[in-house]
Amino acid sequence: GPLKPEITITYIAVSAIFFNSGVSLKTEELTSALMHVKLHLFVQIFTLVFFPTAIWLFLQLLSITPINEWLLKGLQTVGCMPPPVSSAVILTKAVGGNEAAAIFNSAFGSFLGIVITPLLLLLFLGSSSSVPFTSIFSQLFMTVVVPLIIGQIVRRYIKDWLERKKPPFGAISSCVLLMIIYTTFCDTFANPNIDLDKFSLIIIVFIIFSVQLSFMFLTFLFSTRNNSGFTPADTVAIIFCSTHKSLTLGIPMLKIVFAGYEHLSLISVPLLIYHPAQILLGSLLVPTIKSWMVSRQKALKLTRQPKAPVKV
């Protein structure tokens, strides 16, 4: 079509999001985020180990129901996907959480996903095709790492202007993300071979929202324990990065791993629903999470302040 998503979305849109993040993010924040190993381990283990395993166990129960088996397989592919390269960063930024940690985990998780996601797909679903890791890796490097570095370099020269003008980086990223979702929906539902029954589709939508809410609550509980060592800003990044799944990486990966598969369109549907659902849920929860984070930060400041000596 006239939008040319194979170029504008695959390369330009994702690059724009990370260039945007590179320009808007303070270099010292990104550097300090690299050292937060405990947070990165938590996010990556939850996303690439706990999430797909929990979904697999859940699907063993759902396999006896009349839900379309290819949609259920699609749910498993959602569980195997890496963190997103955009939405988790945008929502963390909107709340005021640890954006630097969100960016690092999005980029690092995407690179891990190049190797781990195809292996998980082969483990849980099986496929005979070989996966061209080199081409996916080079595309990720060019669309995620390079724009982020260029953005950081540009920031050095326009730092004063940015402080004065405060451009609407969040709004720009949100618009680009909306374009990614729109073109992907068009691409899938324009397929004449897609055969969906309404019952299965409605149940899958309900399951997706339930899974997201349950996992968001679970990550919130784990990261706010007294001995967790995470700040409220860290918790915000953890909630979004651990539960969100990449559509921009996911769809190309599914097309590669299941190339020529007649049920590829049906397998792709749960991921296509999951992505806008995570943005919708995240956007609705932003005010609630923000008020929790602010009140929690105030409470922590009060507990750290030295008490005034009592006069006798």
Is 181 a member of any domain? yes
What's the pLDDT score for residue 7? Answer: 73
Average pLDDT over residues 84-99: 82
- pTM, two decimals, is 0.74
**Measured distance CA(152)–CA(270) in Å, rounded:** 35
> Per the structure, how many domains does the chain have?
1
Up-side HSE of residue 224: CA atoms within 13 Å toward CB? 18
Is 311 a member of any domain? no
Average pLDDT over residues 30-35: 69
The share of the chain scoring above pLDDT 70, in percent, equals 80
Report whether 40 contacts 104 (CB < 8 A).
yes
The first and second tokens of residue 237, run together, are 């990044």
Radius of gyration of the chain (CA): 20
- DSSP for 44-73, written as a single string: HHIIIIIHHHHHHHHHHHHTTSSS-HHHHH
Average pLDDT over residues 139-147: 76
Up-side HSE of residue 139: CA atoms within 13 Å toward CB? 20
**CATH number of the CATH domain containing 73:** 1.20.1530.20
* 164 against 132, higher pLDDT: 164
Is 307 a member of any domain? no
288 confidence band (pLDDT: 50, 70, 90): very high
What's the pLDDT score for residue 128? Answer: 47
Is 15 a member of any domain? yes
pLDDT tens, 168-182?
776 777 677 677 767
Is 234 a member of any domain? yes
**Measured distance CA(312)–CA(199) in Å, rounded:** 74
- DSSP collapsed to 3 states, 117-132: HHHHHHHHCCCCCCCC
pLDDT tens, 294-305?
888 888 777 766
The first and second tokens of residue 97, run together, are 């959480």
Is 56 a member of any domain? yes
What's the pLDDT score for residue 3? Answer: 72
CA-to-CA separations, 101 to 86, 107, 236, 237, 259, in angstroms, rounded: 13, 10, 10, 7, 34
**Measured distance CA(240)–CA(10) in Å, rounded:** 23
**Measured distance CA(103)–CA(144) in Å, rounded:** 10
Average pLDDT over residues 82-93: 81
Q: What angle do CA 25, 31, 33 make, to 5 degrees?
A: 85
Torsion angles phi and psi, residue 246, rounded to 5: -80, 125
**Measured distance CA(91)–CA(88) in Å, rounded:** 5
Domain that holds residue 109: 5-294
* 28 against 47, higher pLDDT: 47
**Measured distance CA(160)–CA(19) in Å, rounded:** 18
Q: What angle do CA 57, 62, 68 make, to 5 degrees?
A: 130
Q: Is the pLDDT of residue 217 over 90?
A: yes
pLDDT tens, 36-87?
788 889 999 999 999 999 999 999 988 888 888 888 888 999 999 988 767 8
61 by Cβ neighbours in 10 Å (0-12 / 13-18 / 19+) ranks as exposed
> DSSP character for 3?
T
Is 35 a member of any domain? yes
Angle between helices 99-124 and 232-243 (to 10 degrees): 30
Is 304 a member of any domain? no
pLDDT tens, 97-113?
888 888 888 878 877 87
Q: Is the pLDDT of residue 127 over 60?
A: no
